[in-house]
Amino acid sequence: MAVAHSSMRMAYLNLLVDKGADGVALVTINKPKSLNCLDTATVAEIEAAFTELGRDGAVKCIILTGAGDKAFVAGGDIAEMSVKNPRTGREYGLAGQRALFAIERCPKPVIAAINGYALGGGTEIAMACDIRIASEKAKMGQPEVGLGVTPGFAGTQRLPRIVNRGRGKELVMSGATIDAAEALRIGLVERVVPHDRLMESARTMAASIASKGPLAVTYAKALLNLAENVPLDQGCAAEAEAFGACFSTHDQKEGMAAFVEKRKPDFKGA
């Protein structure tokens, strides 16, 4: 599906960030020669990009992918990590966690289009996204223990929450790599599609999300994230507050009027 894009491009050294006229932004980690590995500079750019996109009222949904045909993100920059000490290693881990929180807490839905190897930091970045679509060529895993370190970008925390406790422990402690079919089976990704249809599938999903009421989608993402961290009664109370707040918006009135009148709604994000 062809999607028209505007010329609005945010300037980064290691990322391509294109904001489409349809409200869908595409973030590409653009280091194909190194399989899009995560050095300190790239991690900082990811945090900055998602912070900025989260504040952009024209952006309604974001797709995150990797440049080239081999890797989403093959992992951290091993050469850079190999000379770290306990202090700088901790700082690198915290920087990665901040970048992933910027993705997870971005008010706009984020779709990971996993186009190849997503290992270590690659799997961790994918897990910070809201929805994961994988190419049938994708490979995922947390191989860090084979390098003598633990995951550092919250892999030990998000993986058992997304799959299950035992499977998460198995993958982290064994350092095993799994294929796309197994990632789908255990719930690590939501969809697996033919490699040449990955971006089409991601764009179709993003366009569907972008066509909905932006404020409602933002509230829904916040509530869904909250559900992982609070008891059911607290989550339900927060949902009732958000549901009520929607009735003060233009989008609620427009969305319901359009439904009754059998026409397409004209949402304003207000």
Q: What is the mean pLDDT of residues 160-177?
A: 97
Closest by Cα among 151, 117, 110, 158 to 134:
117
Contacts of range 244-251, beta carbons closer than 8 Å, 24 or more positions apart: 245/219, 246/215, 246/216, 246/219, 249/213, 249/215, 251/213, 251/214, 251/215, 251/216
The full DSSP string for 230-254 is: S-HHHHHHHHHHHHHHHTTSHHHHH
Distance CA 2, CA 215 (A): 26
Q: Name the CATH superfamily, with its identifier, for domain 214-261.
A: Lyase 2-enoyl-coa Hydratase, Chain  A, domain 2 (1.10.12.10)
Q: How far lies 257's CA from each of 47, 216, 244, 262, in Å?
A: 39, 16, 18, 8
Q: What is the mean pLDDT of residues 167-189?
A: 98
Question: 5-210 has which fold?
Answer: 2-enoyl-CoA Hydratase; Chain A, domain 1 (3.90.226)
Q: Which residue among the candidates 144, 182, 190, 239 is catalytic per the annotation? A: 144
| pLDDT beyond 70 at 9 | no
Closest by Cα among 212, 194, 204, 195 to 1:
204
- Is residue 239 among the annotated active site residues? no
Residues across the chain: 270
Is there a common fold for 5-210 and 214-261? no
Distance CA 54, CA 71 (A): 25
Would you tell me how many other CB atoms lie within 10 Å of the CB of residue 68? 17
- Give the model confidence (pLDDT) of 88-146 as tens digits: 999 999 999 999 999 999 999 999 999 999 999 999 999 999 999 999 999 999 999 99
Residue ranges of domains in the chain: 5-210, 214-261
Distance CA 222, CA 200 (A): 27
- Give the model confidence (pLDDT) of 65-96 as tens digits: 999 999 999 999 999 999 999 999 999 999 99
Place 6 in a pLDDT band, splitting at 50, 70 and 90. Answer: very low
- Would you state the pLDDT for residue 7? 45
| pLDDT beyond 60 at 207 | yes
| pLDDT beyond 60 at 1 | no
- Is residue 104 among the annotated active site residues? no
Query: Do residues 147 and 80 lie in contact, with contact meaning Cβ atoms separated by under 8 Å?
Result: no
- Would you state the pLDDT for residue 228? 86
Distance CA 113, CA 24 (A): 13
Q: What's the whole-number average pLDDT of the chain?
A: 95
- Would you state the pLDDT for residue 11? 81
Q: Which residue among the candidates 47, 52, 124, 190 is catalytic per the annotation? A: 124
Q: How far lies 221's CA from each of 52, 120, 127, 170, in Å?
A: 18, 25, 15, 29
